[in-house]
């Protein structure tokens, strides 16, 4: 499973506890911010975000998320005016059971 990029940053991050019904099936999922990190003032934030994403994928948390997320994991980046850099967030959808396990294991 690959992590894809979302070039467009939404007005705000999705609600961590918002329930979404997937039209393809009847499984109720939750949109979750799986990991987030800052990137400095660089010319190409997508290029500089790739190494921390690959390092996250190699961790136990990243392996588990890649295995248990519904659909694809994607990342969004937005300018961070406080640091004159960028903020990157990895997001995915999980079933309620996987979401509960995720929050208990990695608070």
Q: What is the pLDDT of residues 42-94, one digit of tens each?
A: 998 889 999 999 999 999 999 999 999 988 999 999 999 998 999 999 999 99
Average pLDDT (26-50) is: 89
Q: What is the pLDDT of residue 94?
A: 92
Please report the beta strands in the chain, taking only residues with DSSP state E, as ranges in sequence order.
Answer: 3-6, 19-21, 28-39, 70-80, 85-95
Q: What is the pLDDT of residue 22?
A: 57
List, in sequence order, every residue forming a beta bridge with 32; answer none if it has no partner. 92
The mean pLDDT of the chain is: 82
Q: Note the pTM of the prediction, 2 decimals.
A: 0.73
List, in sequence order, every residue forming a beta bridge with 76; answer none if it has no partner. 6, 89
Q: Are 3 and 73 in contact (CB under 8 A)?
A: yes
List, in sequence order, every residue forming a beta bridge with 74; answer none if it has no partner. 4, 91
Q: Are 37 and 88 in contact (CB under 8 A)?
A: yes
Higher-confidence position of 20 and 33: 33
């Amino acid at each position: 499973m690959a992590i894809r990029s979302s070039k467009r940053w939404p007005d705000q991050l999705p609600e961590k506890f918002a329930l979404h019904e997937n039209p393809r099936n009847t499984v109720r999922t939750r949109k979750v911010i799986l990991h987030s990190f800052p990137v400095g003032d660089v010319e190409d934030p997508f290029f500089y975000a790739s190494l921390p994403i690959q390092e996250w994928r190699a961790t136990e948390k990243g392996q588990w998320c890649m295995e248990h997320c519904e659909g694809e994991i994607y990342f969004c980046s937005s300018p961070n005016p406080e640091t004159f850099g960028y903020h990157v967030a990895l997001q995915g959808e999980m079933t309620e059971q996987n979401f509960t396990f995720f929050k208990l294991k990695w608070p």
